[in-house]
Structure 1
């Protein structure tokens, strides 16, 4: 199965069917799928969350998605923090844009990390790697991940709950679409702002 086929297969209905197939494992599939997204960022976290809340219910689906996403993000962070200075990652560490982003995160700590992780379309894999390479404290990053992912996953889960209603209720569909577009736009603006601030900080120095 090539990459294009995988992308075509990744729909809410197919993911829900996969979760149902392994229902005997309890919450494991619901936790594992969002966790994998931290390591394979091309996987659609939004669809995993929507599938979870429709398969397990709003609250359990939210809890499993939140646990998986946080575990994945923290694992990536700790792996990068431990092995980030090795030869394979030295290229990333020396990249000017990444170094400036690292410096900006170190200066501002919890705030920007929390805001970035609140939005579903922020490239969280990049945030995890940059934070791991930076000198931001582990406590700050853990708090930002737990809080930011909570806001993001609950928002996605709430708007995506009850897939059938999205089809039968045009007003609900319009609201969900509008919310997703707004979240995408705000996330992109924060990402652009984050990319610009290192430049300003560098010029001040």
Structure 2
């Protein structure tokens, strides 16, 4: 992973992107939605470096939104199939599905905004829930807009990270701050899910002993 994050590697990717055209800027963020172990941050920075800040941001945003929504639609259509039943077995997933169904747009939007949120889990939970398709697309578009804009702004001028130490310090501070806020929200969300699930279980007559 470290070699992916080197400036030389990202600049090499940027040069390839520019040579192959806009389609190359769209495909990696799209594919990352299906293969979440790929480095989305690197693709976004490479796009911003190759195509310029705004155009690179647009390509990254369209690619990742399209990919994430495609995953959501696939989960929505085939998630109930017995072959994919393993997706819904974990207790954490079940709790998140019920919580998303009760709380909807707001929490998902905030989660999607943070670059360290496991987007694969968000797409999975939203797809398995009964959340309206248009509402999820809207949350996805807005959340990814914020996230991609932040990443593109931080990394569009890679060489400046070496020649402008103050900017570099600010960048790392922002990344660390985003990580802290994301972790805080994740812990708060987990706690809220647990509380809501216990409350819901206590009110559900089927869970009471006769």
TM-score > 0.5, shorter chain as reference: yes
Distance 1:193 1:89 in 2: 29
Aligned to 2:4: 10
Q: How big is the shift at 1:24?
A: 4.5
Matched, 1:193 2:202: no
Aligned to 1:90: 85
Residue number among 51, 55, 70 corresponding to 2:50 in the alignment: 55
Aligned to 1:163: 158
Point out where structure 2 has 5 or more consecutive residues left out of the alignment: 201-210
Aligned to 1:152: 147
Distance 2:165 2:90 in 1: 47
Distance 2:83 2:46 in 1: 36
Equivalent pair of 2:18/2:50 in contact (CA under 8 Å) = no
Distance 2:11 2:30 in 1: 16
Instruction: Give me the TM-score of the superposition, normalised by structure 2.
Output: 0.89
Distance 1:164 1:24 in 2: 20
Residue pairs, 1:52-201, within 5 angstroms:
52-201=47-196
The runs of at least 4 aligned residues of structure 1 exceeding 6 Å deviation read: none
Distance 2:10 2:30 in 1: 14
CA RMSD between the two structures: 1.4
Q: How big is the shift at 1:105?
A: 0.7
Q: Could you report, residue by residue, the CA deviation over 1:70-122 in whole angstroms, capped at 9, with x for unpaired residues?
A: 01100110010011011232122132110110011111111011000001001
Equivalent pair of 2:57/2:149 in contact (CA under 8 Å) = yes
Equivalent pair of 1:13/1:51 in contact (CA under 8 Å) = no
Q: How big is the shift at 1:19?
A: 4.2
Instruction: Find the structure with the greater CA-based Rg.
Output: 2
Count of residue correspondences: 199
